[in-house]
Structure 1
Amino acid sequence: MTAAAAWTLRPATAADLEPLAELRAAAMRPDLERLGRHDEHRVRQRLRDAYRPEHTSVVEVPGRPGPAGCLALAPDDPPGTLLLEHFYLDPALHGRGLGTAVLRAALERADAAGLAVRLNVLQGSPARRLYERHGFALESEDPVDVYLHRPAPLERPTT
């Protein structure tokens, strides 16, 4: 069974913060090192400073101890927009379709609510291709970050 075949999301709690900070550090290390921006303390502290469990879900894979990943979807500006942030998977699970499955489920919820979604990804990150395959397009970029946007679904006329 692949990781994408069996996974669940559960609401995050305050107790998830440190395991998720460690997960973030592992997931982001290659991109941060490539950009010359890796800092062992800062990579964890940024999640600690921004952690909002009420908007965060923990990805669990049966038989696997601890979180397999997480993602946060929170209301953002302009109204009618969600910010997708803190989407991390254990690097051991990359390339197995889990990220695609989790992202697809999150975007289906956003679409059902008629909401646009924004996010940012580090320059050169392979995750950018995942987001672009799911309808995200370039909004802006700087030397470190790429800001992507996925519009709300078009309203369908009622018959």
Structure 2
Amino acid sequence: MADWELRPASVADLEGVAELRAVVLRPDLERLGRYDEHRVRQRLRDGFAPAHTWMIEVGGALTGCVALRPAMDAYWLEHFYLAPDRQGRGVGSAVLSRLLERCDREDAVVRLNVLRGSSALRLYERHGFTVETEDEVDVFMVRAPFSTREPAPDSVNLARSR
């Protein structure tokens, strides 16, 4: 995995993130018959909150972004995009692990939505997210804080065998 860094986002990052979103989401949105080149960028512009967003850089170059927005009963993981040439190399998993560790320290629930059929579903499932609901376009997922989750069956058996 490449060395990566998170830096706070600023208003100046808006257009770069909007373009990254359009590139990353295009295949899934086209598959779902929902791609609109203006709307995909505008939805990001309408919801961009630099105060809750981090830019992901590898070697000093913009590679992605992620937002963790506080809500009343949880955090919402949003705008998690990695450049296609950086996907599948462990960066996304490492970034997600760091954010979820923070949420676990705060004993916080994390929610997200992802496009149906997206390969990102597997990433989220590996990190403890489960499907809460879904519609024709989105899958809504939730992850309980580590302290309140049931241990995996193998961990229970291992603990009993000691």
* 2:52 paired with 1:73: no
Q: State which of 121, 129, 144 in structure 1 corresponds to 2:114.
A: 121
* Distance in 2 separating the partners of 1:69 and 1:118: 20
TM-score between both structures, scaled by the size of structure 2: 0.88
CA distance in 1, matches of 2:60, 2:144: 36
Q: Is residue 79 of structure 2 the alignment partner of residue 91 of structure 1? A: no
| SS at structure 2 position matched to 1:38 | coil
Q: CA deviation at 1:63?
A: 4.8
Contact kept in structure 2, 1:116 and 1:153, CA below 8 Å: no
Of 124, 141, 158, which residue of structure 2 is paired with 1:148?
Answer: 141
Paired residues in the alignment total: 148
Q: Aligned match of 2:53 in 44, 47, 56?
A: 56
Verify: 1:42 aligned to 2:34, yes or no. no
Structure 2 residues without counterparts, runs of 5 or longer: 149-162
- Percent of residue pairs identical: 59
Structure with bigger helix share is 2
Distance 1:63 1:22 in 2: 18
Tell me the equivalent position of 1:25: 22
* 1:48, distance to aligned residue in structure 2 (A): 0.1
Q: Which has the larger radius of gyration?
A: 2
- Match status 1:138 vs 2:131: yes
Scaled by the length of structure 1, what TM-score is found? 0.90
Letter in 1 for 2:21: R
Mapped partners of 1:15, 1:69: distance in 2: 15
- Over aligned residues, Cα RMSD in angstroms? 1.0
Letter paired with 1:15? A
* TM-aligned CA deviation for residue 131 of structure 1: 0.1
Q: Which contiguous aligned blocks of 4+ residues in structure 1 show a shift greater than 2 angstroms? A: none
Distance 1:47 1:148 in 2: 20
